[in-house]
Amino acid sequence: MASFHLTRLYREYENLFSPGIFICRRCNSPLYSAEAKFHSGCGWPSFDEEYPGSVERHVDMDGRRIEILCAHCHAHLGHVFEGEGFTEKDTRHCVNSLSIRFISEGKEMPPVLDAD
């Protein structure tokens, strides 16, 4: 039963395509517009563009993938892949649902928390 709930949390936003903003679950910093979200079939939410300055990229420990982090608090978000051809921007941010929260359009945004 626990694995079912964990899987559901990992895929919480996979099929959500409502207007709004995806924010960092740790610090509430805005990361992605819902307009940048697309269905890639990977099982995790996929975005082809972040808000400017919101996401950092670093070579992952395996040396092959590019890890993405919240630029404000440095929380792990997932990985970014390029050259797959899913969208015109040719970029896929593969983001773990556990690392983000969705704020519906028209809802008040929570304050961004200190990065400490």
Distance CA 2, CA 25 (A): 21
Residues 24, 27, 70, 94: which is the catalytic one?
94
Within a 10 A sphere around the Cβ of 24, how many other Cβ atoms? 25
Q: Which two structure tokens, joined as six digits, stand for 37?
A: 């979200």
CB burial of residue 110 (10 Å; 0-12, 13-18, 19+): exposed
Q: Is 65 exposed, middle or buried (0-12, 13-18, 19+ CB in 10 A)?
A: middle
Alpha helices, DSSP H, located in 1-107:
2-10
| Residue 94 annotated in active site | yes
- Catalytically active residues are 94
